Amino acid sequence: GAVVSQHPSWVICKSGTSVKIECRSLDFQATTMFWYRQFPKQSLMLMATSNEGSKATYEQGVEKDKFLINHASLTLSTLTVTSAHPEDSSFYICSARDPWGANYEQYFGPGTRLTVT
Amino acid sequence: GIQVEQSPPDLILQEGANSTLRCNFSDSVNNLQWFHQNPWGQLINLFYIPSGTKQNGRLSATTVATERYSLLYISSSQTTDSGVYFCAVEGYSGGGADGLTFGKGTHLIIQP
């Protein structure tokens, strides 16, 4: 089956620093990947859609200058949290769809837990 | 945008019991998926089911697209079934290019 990986699994950083999270599709090429955020005991919220070779599309209320997304290849999208603050601490999960797959199913990575101190 | 409502929000059952989780959505969908989120946060994909019925072991799911709801059935519950179950959909207009909208989840606790 389709596999999506994320790196790192968890990261602790100091306030004001930047953190990069990678999302890779391991056995398929993904023209589109999605980034979600989940706060403790809450549901997942779509942050942005990452399109290979073009600019990402951000959901309303998500700061594009804070959450930089780069989708430079068909198997890799990166999310950079710039100038992180404690309120950015959250669980970040990516997903991807196989554009040549038989349906619209999305495959999710294992997530990255970010703690900003 | 499309709305997703899950019920019940919390469910406590004894081991061996059966359960039914419901997901209502407000518009036509291309995609409906059920997930189980494990204690480490990973989403385990249970079913891709925008319509019809599927079964996988003790779990089965049915989506009635014309009435805009989906049901997840868990039979003979085990303590390892505990966790949060999410329903997520992509509206029909997305054409596969939109992200998923998640419900708030059902928190299931199976007691031994």
pLDDT in tens, chain A (117 residues): 689 999 999 999 999 999 999 999 999 999 899 999 999 999 999 999 998 888 999 999 999 999 999 998 999 999 999 999 999 999 999 999 888 888 888 999 999 999 999
**What φ, ψ does residue A98 adopt, rounded to 5°?**
-80, 110
Per DSSP, the residues of B49-89 read -SSEEEEETTEEEEEEGGGTEEEEEE-S--GGG-EEEEEEE
> Hey, is the C-beta of A107 within 8 angstroms of any chain B C-beta?
yes
Question: What pLDDT score was predicted for residue B96?
Answer: 67
Q: What is the pLDDT of residues B97-108, one digit of tens each?
A: 789 999 999 999
> Hey, is the C-beta of A34 within 8 angstroms of any chain B C-beta?
yes
* Cα–Cα dist B7/B9, whole Å: 5
Selected for mutation to probe chain B from A106, A113, A115 (highest B CB count within 10 Å) is A106
> Hey, is the C-beta of A28 within 8 angstroms of any chain B C-beta?
no
Contact A106 B103 (CB under 8 A): no
Q: What is the pLDDT of residues A23-37, one digit of tens each?
A: 999 999 998 999 999
> Hey, is the C-beta of A70 within 8 angstroms of any chain B C-beta?
no
For chains A and B, CB pairs below 8 A equal: 62
> Is residue B59 scored above 70 in pLDDT?
yes
User: Minimal CA–CA distance to B13: which of B70, B75, B60?
Assistant: B75
Residue A63, C-beta contacts closer than 8 angstroms, at least 6 positions apart:
none
